[in-house]
Every structure is written in structure tokens, then in C-alpha cells.
Amino acid sequence: VLFGGRSYMPSTQRTTEKWNSVADCLPHVFLVDFEFGCATSYVLPELQDGLSFHVSIARNDTIYILGGHSLANNIRPVNLYRIRVDLPLGSPAVNCTILPGGISVSSAILTQTNNDEFVIVGGYQLENQKRMVCNIVHLEDNKIEIHEMETPDWTPDIKHSKIWFGSNMGNGTVFLGIPGDNKQAVSEAFYFYMLKCSEDDVNEDQKIFTSSQTSTEDPGDSTPFEDSEEFCFSAEANSFDGDDEFDTYNEDDEEDESVTGYWITCCATCDVDINTWVPFYSTELNKPAMIYCSHGDGHWVHAQCMGL
């Protein structure tokens, strides 16, 4: 069974500005017969939009499709489809059922941990926001259940990277990669990690998943940031002594970023969180950029919250 994907716009619809534009393929399901070398397309009323970068799980004559991205609407709908293929004598029968309990995700990685369980890792929940939550998918007979699992202890590099990619390595292991830091004197093109989603030897009703990550990066090889790219604040970011001409560097703040001024709530609409924050500007490598507002008693605000 083939479903989803993208294609270039027909040449008759292209313009100079949009010559390389793509569109979601029509929501057709193709049944490919390798024995006879033929394919048949099916239009299913449940599939109204084309989808790309969804997650699919196949079990015998059933395929489950989760998530995906609709380019026409620029949304990642909470999808969960079940496509079943029956092969009676004569023409095959393909039907689709919309199931509840789907998830909104695109470009995720699927790995199988045992005969009936899979883990969904990575992907995106918005165009510029990675999906840091992982899900366990349990299949039993004709039932599918999706639950959130304990979030892995992502490294700071993974948390702060805007993009990530990878593939299933089998046996519950996922291979992840992120772009390297081009600000370093000796820059690596990419950094790679292995995420293991294997079960510990515990009681049946106390199953837990462990995650381990390794990287080729040696933190000691990193070069300092340029002066214009590093900001240092004390723990009390909202209180400043008017007699101090310069802020001083506090090494203790670097060891516990959860209490530094970088993670303050700078305004009512501030959504910068240490657990979900990703760089918004090219100069934000490990911490959000901040500016000093002299209004009133003066206070620090995140540059991205001010739309700068």
C-alpha cells in the first residue's frame, strides 16, 4: 500500500517565482501487486486531504496512519486512520476507518520494541518547534492504543537545535542527528546520538523505558562565544543596582541555568521555557537573547518576546 507524499506542481501551473513549488499528492491509496507488476488506485471518502511525513504501522492486512502534515492547510491534524485490505477472489477491497486518539506530529521516527509495541520518537508539532514528547503505540488484535511515555533526558544540544533527523535502527533503537555548531573554530557538520527505548527487567505492571544518548562531541573542544553573542545575568534579573555600570559574570549561574535571568517571565505573553526553548535567532546558541528596557525601573526582556 502506498499513501501520501508530495510532488512538483504541474509544469502548466508553475511560474518563475514558484518553479520548485510542491503540493501534497492527491489522497489516493495505491495497492501495488508485485507478482503481476500492476497498481490500482482507490479514492476513499474518509481521506479528504493529501498528507505528507505521517507515521504508518503495518500489521498483517491492516495499516495504521498517524499524524502527518497537510501542505495546503499548513496543519498537522490529529489523525489516526486504519486502512484494511481484503484480497478475495476477484477485485481487492480497500476500506478506511477514522479512529479516535490520534496525535499531531510530522516527520517522526517509528521503532519497534517488541511484537506488539512501538515507540514514536522525534518529529515536529509546529514548523519551527520540535516534538520532544515520545509515544508508546500498543497493538493487540484490531485495537490500537497510544500513550505518552516518560520523556527522555534530552541533551542541551538536542533541546536547543531547531531541526533534527534520524532513522530506526531496529531493536528499539533510534539514530538521531542534529546540525553542528558553525560558530566553533573547528566545526563538526553534524552530531549524532543513539536513543535506546528498551524495556528494563521489571515486573509486568511496572514497565519503564530507559533512554541513553551518546555524541561524538567533546564539550571541552567548544570555543567561547563571541562577546556579542553571550549574555550573563545574576539570579535576580529583575533587580539592578543603579550604581553599577556593568553587569558582572557569575560562574555559579552557568552551573544552574534554571535560576538565571535567561528563564524569567519577562512579560505577560512570555512563553520562553527552559524545557522547551529552542533558538529563535541565529545568534542564540544556548540561551535566549535579551535586551534591557529602561521603561519604569528598568527590566530585561527576551528579544523574541518583543518581536525584534
Supply the pLDDT for residue 186.
Answer: 52
Supply the pLDDT for residue 213.
Answer: 44
Supply the pLDDT for residue 152.
Answer: 87
- How far apart (Å, rounded) are the C-alpha atoms in residues 152 and 252? 26
Supply the pLDDT for residue 182.
Answer: 56
DSSP 8-class letter at 51: -
* 70 has a pLDDT exceeding 80: yes
Report whether 266 belongs to an annotated binding site: yes
Report whether 305 belongs to an annotated binding site: yes
DSSP 8-class letter at 4: -
* 107 has a pLDDT exceeding 90: yes
**Domain positions in the chain:** 1-103, 107-198, 263-307
Higher pLDDT, 102 or 207: 102
Report whether 299 belongs to an annotated binding site: yes
Sequence length of the chain is 308
Q: What is the pLDDT of residues 183-216, one digit of tens each?
A: 555 556 788 888 988 654 333 333 333 344 444 4
Q: Which residue has the cell 476500506?
A: 95
Contact 193, 210 (CB under 8 A): no
DSSP 8-class letter at 45: T
- How far apart (Å, rounded) are the C-alpha atoms in residues 40 and 95? 14
For residues 74-81, give the mean pLDDT: 91
Report whether 232 belongs to an annotated binding site: no
Q: Which residue has the cell 486531504?
A: 49
Residue 307's pLDDT band, with cuts at 50, 70 and 90, is: confident
- How far apart (Å, rounded) are the C-alpha atoms in residues 290 and 233? 10
Best mean pLDDT range from 15-19, 37-41, 256-260: 37-41
Task: At 221, give phi and psi (nearest 5°).
Answer: -85, -5
Report whether 134 belongs to an annotated binding site: no
Strand, coil or helix: what is 160? helix
What is the β-pairing status of strands 129-130 and 165-170?
unpaired
For residues 120-130, give the mean pLDDT: 89
Residue type, 284: E
Residue type, 308: L
Contact 83, 104 (CB under 8 A): no
Contact 234, 250 (CB under 8 A): yes
- pLDDT over 70, % of the chain: 76
Supply the pLDDT for residue 10.
Answer: 82
Q: Which distant-in-sequence residues (6+ apart) come within 8 Å of 186 by Cβ?
A: 221
For residues 109-114, give the mean pLDDT: 92
Supply the pLDDT for residue 127.
Answer: 82
